[in-house]
Amino acid sequence: MPDKSISLFVKNIWVFESKDRNLKTSLPFFADGYPGVMFQQTDNSLIVRPHDKKMPDVFLYGQTIKPIELEISGAYLLIIFQLYPFVLRTFFNLVPQSINDNCYYLDDMMADDGVMALANELQASDSIEDKIEVITSLLLSFLERKKQDLDDKIREAVIRIIRTKGQESILAIAAICNLTMRTFERRFRNETGLSPKQFSQIIQFQASMEQLTVKDYSKLSDIVYQNGFADQSHFIRVFKAFTGKTPKAFKK
């Protein structure tokens, strides 16, 4: 769990690790609605497929809409700070849409010597906890002075969509925010890089994928209706759009 000092901006901290130097690893990632900051420490670098990008030690990534795989040879440590989607524009002065399915190198934001010092500090830190503290301090340096610039209505809308697993109507959420639909959609896209409908669908998809993964259902129609899909064909279509596979193929 993130430290309280950054919990307004950071949803989760994920750690992936292997010490097997002979291992070849492919980690699939699917749309989840959250951008993030990643630190990677690997024997032979980290490559993002299908973009074929070799990644730096530390980078910021945007919304993942199309499925990707992180390809790693040898031992590795990945630390991922999962950010709420309303922080990109305000805290990093980015147009969020510009890094959908893409990433942003922090050396575009920090001086070259600052990025190198950060990477060196992370590599030199002995424990995962120490590395997490270094990244937490980095985020605080970006975020603390900017939090008053957050669009509170869009932040509340994002949290509401997450809490209701994407099943509340966008019209109802706009009304709760006391915004016209047009204004709500424009402000939401400006802050997150996605339309409210697209973000809701991603959150809805994530809930259904989690249920499918942990096998918390008797038949597929349970997932369909418990997660608010119109019918089974609608569910299959959305699932395939975000994973590249049907639910049946994904289970295998």
Max CA-CA distance within the chain? 56
Q: Which two structure tokens, joined as six digits, stand for 168?
A: 């509340």
Whether pLDDT at 140 is above 90: no
Q: What is the pLDDT of residue 108?
A: 61
Whether pLDDT at 145 is above 80: no
Q: Report the mean per-residue pLDDT for the chain.
A: 91
Averaged pLDDT for residues 224-229: 94
Averaged pLDDT for residues 36-52: 91
Q: Which two structure tokens, joined as six digits, stand for 78?
A: 């990945």
Averaged pLDDT for residues 223-238: 94
Say how far residue 227 (Cα) sits from the centre of its chain: 20
3-state secondary structure labels for all residues of the chain? CCCHHHCCCEEEEEEEEECCCCCEEEEEECCCCCCEEEEEEECCCEEEECCCEECCCEEEECCCCCCEEEEEECCEEEEEEEECCCCHHHHHCCCHHHHCCCEEEHHHCCCHHHHHHHHHHHHHCCCHHHHHHHHHHHHHHHHCCCHHHCCHHHHHHHHHHHHCCCCCCHHHHHHHCCCCHHHHHHHHHHHHCCCHHHHHHHHHHHHHHHHHHCCCCCCHHHHHHHCCCCCHHHHHHHHHHHHCCCHHHHHC
Q: What is the pLDDT of residue 114?
A: 59
| CA–CA gap between residue 231 and residue 77 (Å, rounded) | 41
Report DSSP letters for 169-195, one per residue: -HHHHHHHTT--HHHHHHHHHHHHSS-
Angle at 163 between CA 161 and CA 165, to 5 degrees: 65
Considering only 20-34, 94-108, 109-123, which range has the smallest mean pLDDT? Answer: 109-123
Query: Using an 8 Å Cβ cutoff, are 96 and 192 in contact?
Result: yes
Whether pLDDT at 224 is above 80: yes
Q: What is the pLDDT of residue 217?
A: 85
Considering only 55-64, 70-79, 107-116, 128-137, which range has the smallest mean pLDDT? Answer: 107-116
| CA–CA gap between residue 247 and residue 213 (Å, rounded) | 10
Whether pLDDT at 85 is above 80: yes
Averaged pLDDT for residues 207-218: 90
**pTM for the whole structure:** 0.91
| CA–CA gap between residue 180 and residue 177 (Å, rounded) | 9
Dihedral Cα 232, 234, 238, 243, nearest 10 deg:
30
Whether pLDDT at 112 is above 60: no
Whether pLDDT at 38 is above 90: yes
Whether pLDDT at 113 is above 80: no
Rg (Cα) of the chain, in Å, rounded? 19
Query: Using an 8 Å Cβ cutoff, are 131 and 98 in contact?
Result: no
Q: What is the pLDDT of residue 110?
A: 61
